[in-house]
Amino acid sequence: MDANKSCTATFKVDAVTLNLVRSGNGKVTSNPSGINCGSECSMSYAKGTKITLSAQASPGSKFAG
């Protein structure tokens, strides 16, 4: 090289998709955000991301598991 040079590197993060199917009444949300669904939903997250799902029963319903 005869002078300072610069370059750019671009990295792609592997992603995985979490598919969720809910039965009954209520909703499910996630932390980190991305899932806020009724009966069926999915979201892609970076591979290795830890995801916490929270279920909330609709009024008059009970959480069964």
pTM of the model as a whole: 0.68
Tens of pLDDT along 9-61? Answer: 998 889 999 999 887 788 899 999 999 887 668 999 999 999 999 988 888 88
pLDDT at 52: 96
| Contacts of residue 62, Cβ cutoff 8 Å, sequence gap at least 6 | none
pLDDT at 51: 95
Higher pLDDT, 8 or 26: 8
d(CA 47, CA 15): 5
Asked if residue 57 lies in contact with residue 29, where contact means CB atoms within 8 angstroms, the answer is no
Enumerate the domain spans of the chain.
15-57
Centre a 10 Å sphere on the Cβ of residue 53 and count the other Cβ atoms it contains. 11
pLDDT at 44: 93
Task: Write down the number of H helices and E strands in the chain.
Answer: 0, 5
pLDDT at 39: 65
In sequence order, the β-bridge partners of residue 46 are 15
